[in-house]
């Protein structure tokens, strides 16, 4: 979508607020059915994985991939509850959000606050740092000390970002709150950690520690890595939107800075339609099961160029935001950028 098109949307030539409003009412039956077709199958798969250990661990790993899909889908329910979009009742959203937060190792109230900040600041260069993936500009990176440059390169390395980091985030970082956190956000962190400890202890008593790890660890690796990848590709892609705060615009950030990640139907189901991320950022009050319908019935939203499952992997090369060329670049572009700066100064 061009900048002129997003400006038209923002100036209400196309009434996007009215367009999304009719999709914002949750359907109780659909929400309950999503819980039924997601959470029980996850625990059934856990049981089958335990039994499969007596047959072949390769079978266990195959089932782990499927179970990881259901765990990712549980996170989508948690995510919708955090936006208050899964049920009409805020109390129901909070209860289900807390419970699914335990299953996904994520403190509900603490995450909800950070994620709300993410939605309010996505694509805003002046307000980075909460609920997003650390992304420096070229100038910020070049101003770092050598040791800090190395640290940033490690953080942005695909192996670290999509294999090591996800486990650290869900199993480690979510157990601690930032300094200054108080109230129910802080309590959410502690109570979730306590509930997780009880949950883990119960599983270890039922199946033994070794079985617990053999069954759960591959699920966590696949599910958490997939989750971080989805979050990454939904905002870090060719043609994405970043602006300084004074030039930042909510509709433009949603429609240009959040991708339309067109996944195969089965992956779309497991990921709870989160690939329609431009619609989600435009209106986070839309339940996940109405996102595709909203896109199909509004031609203006269809103008966003989709990213396919395969083309999305190009995003792996992006590391920095080049403010001069207004696009994401890899570390390989630094020499060219520095050379141009030297030539410009010489001229």
Residue 272 has pLDDT above 80, yes or no: yes
Rounded distance, CA 234 to CA 252, Å? 15
Q: What is the pLDDT of residue 13?
A: 42
Per the prediction, the chain carries an average pLDDT of 92
Residues sharing a CB contact under 8 Å with residue 148, sequence separation 6 or more, in sequence order: none
* Among candidate residues 152, 147, 336, 156, the one with its CA nearest the CA of residue 232: 156
Residue with tokens 């993410």: 118
Rounded distance, CA 337 to CA 177, Å? 38
Percent of the chain with pLDDT over 70: 93
SS3 107: coil
Q: What is the pLDDT of residue 337?
A: 77
Residue 344 has pLDDT above 90, yes or no: no
Q: Cβ–Cβ contacts within 10 Å for residue 80, how many?
A: 28
Residue with tokens 């979050």: 231
Q: What are the beta bridge partners of residue 322?
A: 327
pLDDT tens by residue, 126-178:
999 888 899 999 999 999 999 999 999 999 999 999 999 999 999 999 999 99
Model confidence band, residue 5 (pLDDT cutoffs 50, 70, 90): very low
pLDDT tens by residue, 182-226:
999 999 999 999 999 999 999 999 999 999 999 999 999 999 999
Q: What is the pLDDT of residue 347?
A: 56
Task: Judge if pTM exceeds 0.95.
Answer: no
Q: Which of 272-276, 302-306, 309-313 has the highest mean pLDDT?
A: 272-276
């Amino acid at each position: 979508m061009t900048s002129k098109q997003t400006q038209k949307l923002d100036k209400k030539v196309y009434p996007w607020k009215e367009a999304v409003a009719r999709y914002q009412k949750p359907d109780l039956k659909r929400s309950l059915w999503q819980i039924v077709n997601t959470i029980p199958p996850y625990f059934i798969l856990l049981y089958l994985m335990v039994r499969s250990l007596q047959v072949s661990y390769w079978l266990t790993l195959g089932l782990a991939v499927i179970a990881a899909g259901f765990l990712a889908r549980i996170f989508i329910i948690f995510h919708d509850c955090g936006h208050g979009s899964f049920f009409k009742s805020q109390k129901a959203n909070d209860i289900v959000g807390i419970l699914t937060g335990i299953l996904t190792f994520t403190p509900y109230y603490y995450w909800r606050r950070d994620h709300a900040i993410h939605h309010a600041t996505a694509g805003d260069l002046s307000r980075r740092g909460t609920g997003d993936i650390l992304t420096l500009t070229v100038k910020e990176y070049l101003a770092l000390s050598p040791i800090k440059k190395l640290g940033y390169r490690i953080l942005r390395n695909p192996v670290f970002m999509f294999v090591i980091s996800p486990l650290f985030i869900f199993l480690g970082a979510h157990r601690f709150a930032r300094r200054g956190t108080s109230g129910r956000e802080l309590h959410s962190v502690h109570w979730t950690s306590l509930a997780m400890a009880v949950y883990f202890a119960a599983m270890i008593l039922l199946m033994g520690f070794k079985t617990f790890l053999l069954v759960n660890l591959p699920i966590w690796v696949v599910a958490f890595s997939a989750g971080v990848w989805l979050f990454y590709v939904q905002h870090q892609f060719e043609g994405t939107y970043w602006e300084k705060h004074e030039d930042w615009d909510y509709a433009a950030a949603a429609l240009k800075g959040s991708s339309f990640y067109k996944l195969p139907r089965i992956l779309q189901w497991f990921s709870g339609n989160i690939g329609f991320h431009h619609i989600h950022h435009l209106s986070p009050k839309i339940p996940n099961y109405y996102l595709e319908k909203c896109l199909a019935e509004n031609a203006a939203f269809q103008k966003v160029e989709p990213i396919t499952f395969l083309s999305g992997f190009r995003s792996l090369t992006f590391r920095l935001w080049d403010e001069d060329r207004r696009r994401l670049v890899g570390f390989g572009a630094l020499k060219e950028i520095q050379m141009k700066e030297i030539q410009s100064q010489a001229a």
